[in-house]
Amino acid sequence: MRKYIKNIVLGMAVLAVLSGCATQPMNKQSEEQAIEITDEKMDFLGITNKEYLSAASKRALAWSDDLNNEWFGEFTVHDLKGDLAYEEGVVRRDPSAMIQHNGKYYVWYSKSVGKVDGFAGDIENDKVFPWDRCDIWYATSEDGWTWKEEGIAVARGEKGAYDDRSVFTTEIMEHEGMYYLVYQTVKSPYNVRVKNQVGLAWSNSPDGPWTKSKEPILSPADNGVWKGDEDNRFIVEKKGDFDSHKVHDPCIIPFKGKFYLYYKGEQMGEEITFGGRQIRHGVAIADNPKGPYIKSKYNPISNSGHEICVWPQDGGIGSLITTDGPEKNTIQWAPDGINFEIKTVIPGAPHAIGLNRELDTSRPFGAFDWGLTHKYQSYDWQYIRRFQGKRKTTHKAKGEAGAKEASDAVSKKRKE
């Protein structure tokens, strides 16, 4: 296992151990044992005196030596054509990764119709979230820009089934000629304290038909305790594990001869911390694509995040961490699929990314050349768009372009 001392953010742990008070000098011997202080590092970081290190300098000295911009990039987002263009009255959101089959791209997504009613009305019949009352649909495209909606792939279950209310936020995995859709499920009634689960469907063709698992393949931890009978998810006697309330955004990756099911966990009594919502990721591992999936003893495997976005990278697993938590807006990487280290900060990454599984990921930023995302036109209506990504290797100060134009104008006037 790699030492987390090389992780950029976990350098803060070094500070906590080494310094009882930032204003007091550290014991020089203890400091040198904990972090390496070289003249080269001092020069690179611009540190004046190693006898007097601020909290920031201590964290910087604990950073990995592998500081580069190979993982850093930026994004633009564009509207699509065809059936995935914005449509009033329709929700299309949370695109899966894309795969290619017979010369066409395939994508799966959550689809519902009708405005959101919330929890104030008739819970049994109203629509409480945009992702409520969804089925999983799919579309195809020859160029990744113009899409044709092909129909329902996986529908909600019959009344009384674990997936009778909504099936949504899906991901695709292709393995040895079989196709697997993993997705969230909710059983009615959809109240605030409902505990969703994860389902699975499989087919020998991306066009289906799909066979659904009779039982969920993943459920929340059963060790939290609600307080009272009020339908309020913040009032608890015991919070339980990081995934004691919900298991969201599932994605299965074949890895090292097994199948790693990554997911987002939501905790009963979730709180707001200095990084925003308490959201963390976990992984469950199986020997067979259909399970059984056993949660890792090392869960949670992230301190932050929202939607799951993972991909094979350099013999390990890459992960985009967005939206929530103290390590949000970072790309992380784990050689073993479990112990993730921060590789770069990524500001402005699109939400709910659906990667293009056909891209070359030998380059650290190669997974983001282009893919799909979704946009909130309003809370009622969302639609799918395309993102483009590129590595960012240079920096221009704000206003530099305008300053150059002004300088050129002055030079021209002088010549006249």
If you average pLDDT over each of 13-17, 20-24, 155-159, 407-411, which comes out highest? 155-159
Q: What is the pLDDT of residue 248?
A: 96
Q: Which of 158, 183, 323 lies closest to 247 in space, CA to CA?
A: 183
Is pLDDT of 30 > 60?
Answer: no
Q: Over the stretch 226-266, which tens digit does the pLDDT of each residue have? A: 999 999 999 999 999 999 999 999 999 999 999 999 999 99
Residue 86's pLDDT band, with cuts at 50, 70 and 90, is very high
Q: Over the stretch 186-205, which tens digit does the pLDDT of each residue have? A: 999 999 999 999 999 999 99
Residue 91's pLDDT band, with cuts at 50, 70 and 90, is very high
Is pLDDT of 8 > 50?
Answer: no
Q: What is the pLDDT of residue 387?
A: 98
The torsion angles phi and psi of 60, rounded to 5 degrees, stand at -65, -40
Residue 18's pLDDT band, with cuts at 50, 70 and 90, is very low
Q: Over the stretch 129-139, which tens digit does the pLDDT of each residue have? A: 999 999 999 99
Mean pLDDT of the chain: 88
Q: What is the pLDDT of residue 9?
A: 37
The length of the chain in residues reads 416
Q: Over the stretch 46-57, which tens digit does the pLDDT of each residue have? A: 999 989 999 999
Q: Is 304 exposed, middle or buried (0-12, 13-18, 19+ CB in 10 A)?
A: buried
Is pLDDT of 7 > 60?
Answer: no
- Per domain, the residue ranges of the chain are 4-61, 73-391
Q: What is the pLDDT of residue 397?
A: 72
Q: Which of 87, 184, 86 lies closest to 134 in space, CA to CA?
A: 184
Percent of the chain with pLDDT over 70: 87
Is pLDDT of 2 > 50?
Answer: no
The torsion angles phi and psi of 260, rounded to 5 degrees, stand at -100, 115
| CATH class of the 73-391 domain in this structure | mainly beta
Is pLDDT of 301 > 60?
Answer: yes
Task: Report, as an integer, the average pLDDT of 151-155.
Answer: 98
DSSP code of residue 194: -
Residue 25's pLDDT band, with cuts at 50, 70 and 90, is very low
Reading the block at residue 261, the tokens are 């099911």
Q: Does 404 or 144 have the greater pLDDT score? A: 144
Q: ω into residue 300 within 30 of 0, thus cis? A: yes
Contact 111, 177 (CB under 8 A): no
Task: Report, as an integer, the average pLDDT of 402-412.
Answer: 51
Residue 19's pLDDT band, with cuts at 50, 70 and 90, is very low
What residues contact 314, with CB distance under 8 A and at least 6 apart? 333, 364
CA atoms within 13 A on the CB side of 20: 5
Q: What is the pLDDT of residue 240?
A: 97
Q: What is the pLDDT of residue 273?
A: 87
Q: What is the pLDDT of residue 401?
A: 52
Q: What is the pLDDT of residue 66?
A: 74
Which of 26-30, 117-121, 213-217, 350-354 is the least confident region? Answer: 26-30
